[in-house]
């Protein structure tokens, strides 16, 4: 796993620092050791003998990466993972979502580097990435990723991700997104790829009237009605009942943009959308291998996020192609072969490679006088 992961990271386009006695291999080992322990490069360097003298040296090497080339290579590698283990003859459901990396600090070059999010971890600032995942219980791969700036339209980021998805050799039969993508341009772009499901944002008199009901039904809604950018889409209004779930009771009405899905009932549309919750597992495992950093450099932060997603995909590929046992009805996935376990293996090997020193500051008192463990 260590060899496979380092081969993967070595494909990232890092030129390196001219005249440095180091090589890219030790830089990637340092970064990967930090990632698999969800710690900082500084912490790794402080505790190892075979790494650079300071973490700024590692950062200098990472700054030689071209950001556009990095995004291209990372997405090429994600595409390779998908084509390796996903059956091209099956259609797929794709989930698009923003991944927000909370940030406590200021921008490096321009305010657009930092996006705003709902309060989390004591901040409303973040570095944001638009991602695409495939909905598959056994092979939930990341298909594409792109950084997002605060001054760009979400549709542009969605377009870059979906351009990548469209290159994959399987048909997309639905795209699921959260309410953060409830925008006219986003809906148009996603609809050009596949049927789309996402929740409506409850604003405007027309929409409130449509949601004022006690029965599920189909209707149509016009976004920016009467304007040049008017967008009409099928609106699935779904009424359900909460029977004590999370302490809630009574009727709840939800509306969904449901382009090209009117052959289903509103309840079926809602059931399809609820499959999107599977993405939370992907987020949780991705964070298990994300190196932490205080740097304001968006390039380096993207490198750490990309490394995390690449390692997660590598685990999924190995689990399916190498470890899962073929059987009638599909392969048997070993529940013990977890991402946490694999990260531990890589971490242990890298600790040995980098000369990890297991030290701890003592209290200065020591053992009691006359202590002799052999006396008994």
Question: What is the residue extent of each domain of the chain?
Answer: 2-66+288-353, 67-198+259-283
DSSP for 298-361? HHHHHHHHHHHHHHHHHHHHHIIIIISBP-TTS-B--TT--HHHHHHHHHHHHHHHTTB-----
Q: Look at residue 336 in the predicted model and tell me its pLDDT.
A: 93
| Whole-number Cα distances in Å, 374 to 64, 91, 368, 370 | 57, 69, 15, 11
Q: Look at residue 367 in the predicted model and tell me its pLDDT.
A: 87
Burial of residue 340 (CB within 10 Å: 0-12, 13-18, 19+) is: exposed
Q: Look at residue 330 in the predicted model and tell me its pLDDT.
A: 81
Taking the CB of residue 11, how many other CB atoms lie within 10 A of it?
Answer: 13
Taking the CB of residue 227, how many other CB atoms lie within 10 A of it?
Answer: 10
DSSP for 182-217? --HHHHHHHHTTS-EEEEPP--SHHHHHHH--SS-E
Give the DSSP H or E segment for 249: strand 249-259
| Whole-number Cα distances in Å, 284 to 139, 190, 255, 340 | 15, 26, 28, 11
HSE-up (13 A, CA, CB side) for residue 73 = 17
Indicate the DSSP class of residue 368: P
Q: Look at residue 78 in the predicted model and tell me its pLDDT.
A: 97
For domain 67-198+259-283, give the fold: Nucleotidyltransferase; domain 5 (3.30.420)
The C-alpha atoms of residue 191 and residue 259 are separated, in whole angstroms, by 7
Q: Look at residue 249 in the predicted model and tell me its pLDDT.
A: 73
The C-alpha atoms of residue 28 and residue 7 are separated, in whole angstroms, by 10
Q: Which of 263, 244, 285, 336 is nearest to 141 (CA)?
A: 285
Q: Look at residue 368 in the predicted model and tell me its pLDDT.
A: 87
Taking the CB of residue 172, how many other CB atoms lie within 10 A of it?
Answer: 20
Q: Look at residue 212 in the predicted model and tell me its pLDDT.
A: 93
Positive/negative CA dihedral, 22, 23, 25, 31: positive
Q: Look at residue 376 in the predicted model and tell me its pLDDT.
A: 61
The C-alpha atoms of residue 20 and residue 13 are separated, in whole angstroms, by 17
Tell me the mean pLDDT per 10 residues along the chain, length 376: 94 92 94 96 94 93 96 97 94 94 94 94 94 92 96 95 96 94 95 96 90 94 92 94 73 94 95 88 82 95 96 96 88 91 95 91 87 77
């Amino acid at each position: 796993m260590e060899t496979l992961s380092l081969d993967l990271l070595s494909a990232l386009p890092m030129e390196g620092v001219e005249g440095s006695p180091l090589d890219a291999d030790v830089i990637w080992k340092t970064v990967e050791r930090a990632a698999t322990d969800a710690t900082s490069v500084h912490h790794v360097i402080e505790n190892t003998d075979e790494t650079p003298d300071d973490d700024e040296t590692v950062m200098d090497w990472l700054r030689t990466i071209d950001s556009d080339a990095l995004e291209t290579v990372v997405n090429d590698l994600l595409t390779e993972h998908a084509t390796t283990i996903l059956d091209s003859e099956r259609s797929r459901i794709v989930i698009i979502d923003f991944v927000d990396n909370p940030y406590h600090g200021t921008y490096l070059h321009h305010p657009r580097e930092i996006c705003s999010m709902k309060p989390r971890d004591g901040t409303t600032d973040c570095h944001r990435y638009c991602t695409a995942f495939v909905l598959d219980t056994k092979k939930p791969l990341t298909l594409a990723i792109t950084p997002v700036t605060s001054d760009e339209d979400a549709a542009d980021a969605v377009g870059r991700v979906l351009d990548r998805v469209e290159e994959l050799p399987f048909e997309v039969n639905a795209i699921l997104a959260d309410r953060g993508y409830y925008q006219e341009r986003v809906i148009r772009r996603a609809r050009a790829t596949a049927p789309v499901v996402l929740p409506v944002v409850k604003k405007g008199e027309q929409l409130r009237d449509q949601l004022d009901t006690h029965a599920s039904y189909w209707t149509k809604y016009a976004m920016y009605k009467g304007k040049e950018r008017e967008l009409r889409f099928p609106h699935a209004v779904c009424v359900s009942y909460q029977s004590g779930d999370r302490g809630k009771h009574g009727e709840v009405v939800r509306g969904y943009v449901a382009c090209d899905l009117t052959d289903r009932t509103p309840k079926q549309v809602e059931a399809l959308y609820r499959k999107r919750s599977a993405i939370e597992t992907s987020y949780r495992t991705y964070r298990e291998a994300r190196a932490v950093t205080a740097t304001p450099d968006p390039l380096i932060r993207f490198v750490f996020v990309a490394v995390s997603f690449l390692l997660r995909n590598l685990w999924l590929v190995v689990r399916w192609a190498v470890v899962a046992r073929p059987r009638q009805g599909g392969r048997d996935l070993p529940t013990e072969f977890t991402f946490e376990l694999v990260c531990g293996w890589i971490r242990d090997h890298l600790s040995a490679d980098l000369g990890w020193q297991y030290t701890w500051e003592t209290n200065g008192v020591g053992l009691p006088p006359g202590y002799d463990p052999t006396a008994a």
